[in-house]
Structure 1
Amino acid sequence: GKSLKVLALVLTMLFMVTVVGCGGSSNTGDKTSDGGEKKPIVIRIGTTVTPTHSYSVVAQDFEKEVEEKTNGEIDIQYLGGGVLGGERQMVEAIQRGDLEMTWTSDIGLAAVYPELGFVNLPYLFPTYEDVDRDYINGWVADYMTKFCEEKGIKILGFGENDFRAVTNSKRPITKGEDFKGLKLRVPETPMYVDFYESLGVACTPMAITEVPTALQQKTVDGQDNGAIMTYDYGLYKFQKYATRANQIYSGMQMCMGTVTWDKLTPEQQQIIAEASKKAAAAQVKLQRENAEKQWKEMAEAGMEVIDITPELEADFKAIAERMYKDPQYAKLYGQEVMDKIQEMK
């Protein structure tokens, strides 16, 4: 009798383990522990941008639209301000599936894949018209989408970072030779340094957080940045002159890891794809409005803001042309891309 009781106990325990096991596996899928409503799929969007940034604004509409259209099947969680790390870390995290989505600059994507750095070549997109035609709605978007897809990244929307400008405390810049002898803080990439050294600039790379003090103490004469950073970091307070030279353009991308994308139903994919496209387009519009507003405010605060002159444009173009033909860039970005750039010009 004793052995039968033990057997009965073992069988009961086995039965419970099986039931709990099955219950557990269905919980990790769609159902809550009480077997009622489906658990929403959590999609976190990680980014480094601030709460007032144009993307933080449009992300609220994106969240609302996706959650409403999927009837709460998807729960969007927006995590800005770099709480999940830098752009490079977040791009790598979506590839692994440790994070679902990220809003990153093309500089962040190029930190992981240097081959994509061609998008920041000097004077590649001198105007918004060029950006819209060739980058956001053109061959660059197609190329980046295809390239990233093969690496496990789905680009769902193309947004905007900023056009870069030059500010300094010495003199207005209207032609190439005005750069000679200036000490400028520039982004720490060989391409940027190559461009500025060709103009006779003494390049000083440093973290953005150190720039206000460096400008104030005159350790550097000026810096290369767009309206957004120049305004947000208060750099204009220590700079008398600004040239809206549009020497380098930087875009932003709304990305999801293909590991996450493949787990969604076709309906969910379509809702997210459409909402992402809409959010990115709204962000571009808002970012451009903000940039104009900020240049205006900086000018009102006493900064002399000038647009690029035909002479400076010609000097920039000459340096850019040399760089496009330089074999080191063909080696880095691929001959096919550099040929395409030559065709554009």
Structure 2
Amino acid sequence: MRKFLLALSACAVMFSSSAFAEPVTLRAISAFPPNLEFTKQFQAFIDRVNRAGEGVVKIQFVGGPEVIPPQQQDTALRNGVFDMQMGPASYYNGIVPEADALFGANVGPVQAREDGAVELLNDIWRKKLNAQFIGWQSGGIPFYVYLTDPPKMSGKGVLDLTGIQLRSTPAYREWFEALGGNNVMLQTSEMFTAMERGVVRGLGWPAISFTDIGVHKFLKYRVAPPVWQLDLVIIMNGRKWDGLSPEAKQVIEKAAIEHEKATQRDFAAIRDRETKILEQSGIQTVEVDNPALHLKIAHDLVWDRLASRDPSNVEMLKSKLYKE
């Protein structure tokens, strides 16, 4: 009888421990300030995980660039300083050259996942960054060039940026140079002051989260067609991912699939809303004379750059992410 009671007591303790166990808490960071739509959408993903993962897994948002500069976040993630990150893959394409494949894609996240691209990307991210590729927060949103002065065209009918100072990042640098522009490398937080002081006369930016920064008040023209695609990804420290329970992994994976679909819908609505704001502020959209060549120059540059850095995965990635 005593043995039976002891066994019963042990079972009760085990049940009590599992029933009231604390969920695993993951610390997450964004490459962008909290007021930008990119971070707001990441917060929506976090909320989705926290609702579905109650009692199992929880994500705590710890902040943005004010915590760790964006270009240092990949190293911090790899070293386990925090567990999850959302930001442009192009910020660490020196470590993972295949980040360019997302930037140069013309296939959206939902189709990319269906075609097996996410599985391939995850294999690459694990090998090169010790990171689990969770999701691609793109929404199919492309990039425009914005200018304060009327755009000029080259003899081939594409944008001519000769002599123009442009706010730039590693993602734009080679394209702006190919079009004759001068790159001024600035963080997002420095854009407003640079435009206000006339340090730069234009910039590249996606079709959303533009009015959040307020620089549209200095600009007059938007050059079309847009190129590329947002390369915002959600990634997680590989060791931390491996240590999660199967249930926690399932919660995060399901949330990522739902999030990719949601951002496609939400970003489209935001894009339409912001386009109206830009039009109301007097920004004119100017189509280049040769749109096909404009697109080809931009996309070929990205894929050629990837091939020169690491050709091992180029053809497979291009077959899944770029449809000619």
What residue in structure 2 maps to residue 119 of structure 1?
102
What residue in structure 2 maps to residue 5 of structure 1?
none
2:185 is paired with a residue of what secondary structure?
A: coil
CA separation of 1:301 and 1:324: change in aligned 2, threshold 3 A = closer
1:219 is paired with a residue of what secondary structure?
A: coil
| 1:153-192 superposed Cα distances (whole Å, 9 cap, x missing partner) | 1112211284211111221467745524351414343x73
Which of 148, 166, 170 is matched with 1:185 structurally? Answer: 166
2:246 matches 1:266: yes
What residue in structure 1 maps to residue 8 of structure 2?
none
What residue in structure 1 maps to residue 132 of structure 2?
154
CA separation of 1:277 and 1:111: change in aligned 2, threshold 3 A = farther
2:121 is paired with a residue of what secondary structure?
A: helix
C-alpha displacement of 1:214: 3.5
CA separation of 1:196 and 1:49: change in aligned 2, threshold 3 A = closer
Which of 86, 90, 94 is matched with 1:103 structurally? Answer: 86
Aligned partner of 2:23: which letter?
P
Please give the TM-score of this superposition, normalised by the length of structure 2: 0.77
C-alpha displacement of 1:312: 3.2
| 1:272-293 superposed Cα distances (whole Å, 9 cap, x missing partner) | 2112221233233212221221
C-alpha displacement of 1:115: 4.1
Which of 285, 292, 296 is matched with 1:305 structurally? Answer: 285
Residue 159 of structure 2 contacts residue 294 of structure 2 at CA under 8 Å; is this kept in 1? no
More helix by share: 1
| 1:5-45 superposed Cα distances (whole Å, 9 cap, x missing partner) | xxxxxxxxxxxxxxxxxxxxxxxxx999xx99323321122
2:168 is paired with a residue of what secondary structure?
A: coil
What residue in structure 1 maps to residue 194 of structure 2?
214
C-alpha displacement of 1:54: 4.1
What residue in structure 1 maps to residue 150 of structure 2?
171
Which of 69, 75, 84 is matched with 2:67 structurally? Answer: 84
CA distance in 2, matches of 1:65, 1:167: 34
2:107 matches 1:141: no
CA distance in 2, matches of 1:100, 1:54: 22
CA separation of 1:335 and 1:316: change in aligned 2, threshold 3 A = farther
CA separation of 1:283 and 1:218: change in aligned 2, threshold 3 A = same
Aligned partner of 2:28: which letter?
I
C-alpha displacement of 1:332: 0.3
1:160 is paired with a residue of what secondary structure?
A: coil
CA distance in 2, matches of 1:214, 1:82: 18
2:50 matches 1:50: no
Aligned partner of 1:293: which letter?
R
Residue 182 of structure 1 contacts residue 222 of structure 1 at CA under 8 Å; is this kept in 2? no
CA distance in 2, matches of 1:78, 1:142: 26
How many residue pairs get aligned? The number is 304
Residue 324 of structure 1 contacts residue 341 of structure 1 at CA under 8 Å; is this kept in 2? no
Aligned partner of 1:46: which letter?
I
Which of 275, 279, 291 is matched with 2:255 structurally? Answer: 275
Please give the TM-score of this superposition, normalised by the length of structure 1: 0.73
| 1:119-174 superposed Cα distances (whole Å, 9 cap, x missing partner) | 334xx53xxxx335765654653432220123421112211284211111221467
2:300 matches 1:296: no
Which of 180, 194, 205 is matched with 1:200 structurally? Answer: 180
Aligned partner of 1:230: which letter?
F
Give unmatched runs, 5+ long, in structure 2.
1-14
What residue in structure 2 maps to residue 333 of structure 1?
310
Residue 132 of structure 1 contacts residue 138 of structure 1 at CA under 8 Å; is this kept in 2? no
| 1:226-267 superposed Cα distances (whole Å, 9 cap, x missing partner) | 233532222211111112432232222122222112222212
CA distance in 1, matches of 2:124, 2:303: 23
Give unmatched runs, 5+ long, in structure 1.
1-29
1:89 is paired with a residue of what secondary structure?
A: helix
Residue 88 of structure 1 contacts residue 111 of structure 1 at CA under 8 Å; is this kept in 2? no
| 1:186-245 superposed Cα distances (whole Å, 9 cap, x missing partner) | 4343x7333223323333333434433433343332111123353222221111111243
Percent of matched pairs sharing the same residue: 18
Equivalent positions of 1:3-82 (< 5 A) are 37-54=20-37, 56-59=39-42, 62-82=45-65
Residue 143 of structure 2 contacts residue 204 of structure 2 at CA under 8 Å; is this kept in 1? yes
